[in-house]
Chains A and B, each alone.
Chain A
Amino acid sequence: GQQVMQIPQYQHVQEGEDFTTYCNSSTTLSNIQWYKQRPGGHPVFLIQLVKSGEVKKQKRLTFQFGEAKKNSSLHITATQTTDVGTYFCAGPNGGSQGNLIFGKGTKLSVKP
């Protein structure tokens, strides 16, 4: 079945360092979404990428969608303690409209 894989599982960085998480799908995706879940919180939608090779930026966050629409990355420049949380990528389940398959997430911790 369709799988969405995400690496690394954990990342510990010093405040100010950069951070990247990678997402790979076993199938071509029509779009990919990214969510952030703070400790003790719920997933919050960050962004959706639709076009092959698309790059979007939100302040210090840069999101990329691969040319083949099977992989994506989230890069954070100069991490801050407010970036702490788990970042999930999610792709549509090919069988049902609106359903998402989530990657296992990358848990980011930032040491001040």
Chain B
Amino acid sequence: DAMVIQNPRYQVTQFGKPVTLSCSQTLNHNVMYWYQQKSSQAPKLLFHYYDKDFNNEADTPDNFQSRRPNTSFCFLDIRSPGLGDAAMYLCATSRGDRGVYEQYFGPGTRLTVT
């Protein structure tokens, strides 16, 4: 089945220790998104790729970076995680066609910072 896969599902890292979260998709969608979701809050967009074109949200901290080496994979790098970065990180994809914006979310990676 076509899907969005995120690994790992749970990640524990130490304060200040770099961590990378991964996302892959078999939907062949050209847009990939990274969201941060804290408890009882809406998903907050960090950045997205339209094909290879990277788009950063204005309020995304510099501590967060992303890479998309090919259509199928996208990575979220947190260079120096702080306690406030503990959250669920959701990857999503979209066809990105004009007028078609539904997003398909992966199961998420729950990040704990100790």
Interface of B is mostly: loop
Given the known interface contacts A97-B96, A98-B50, the answer about A104 and B101 at a Cβ–Cβ threshold of 8 Å is no
B48 touches A98 (CB 8 A): yes
- CB neighbours of A102 from chain B (8 A): 42-43
- A99 engages B43 (CB within 8 Å): no
Closest B residue to A6 by beta carbon equals B42
Partner among B48, B94, B105 whose Cβ is within 8 Å of the Cβ of A44: B105
Shortest C-beta distance, A22 to chain B (Å), equals 15
Chain B interfacial positions (CB closer than 8 Å to A)? 31, 33, 40-43, 45, 48, 50, 55, 90, 92, 94, 96, 98-99, 101-108
A31 near B105: Cβ-Cβ < 8 Å: no
B50, B55, B90, B96: the one contacting A43 at CB < 8 Å is B90
Number of residues on chain A facing chain B (CB within 8 A): 22
The residue in A30, A33, A97 that gathers the most chain B C-beta atoms within 10 A of its C-beta is A97
- As a 0/1 sequence over residues 8 to 48 of chain A, the CB contacts with chain B under 8 angstroms (1 = contact) are 00000000000000000000001101000000011111001
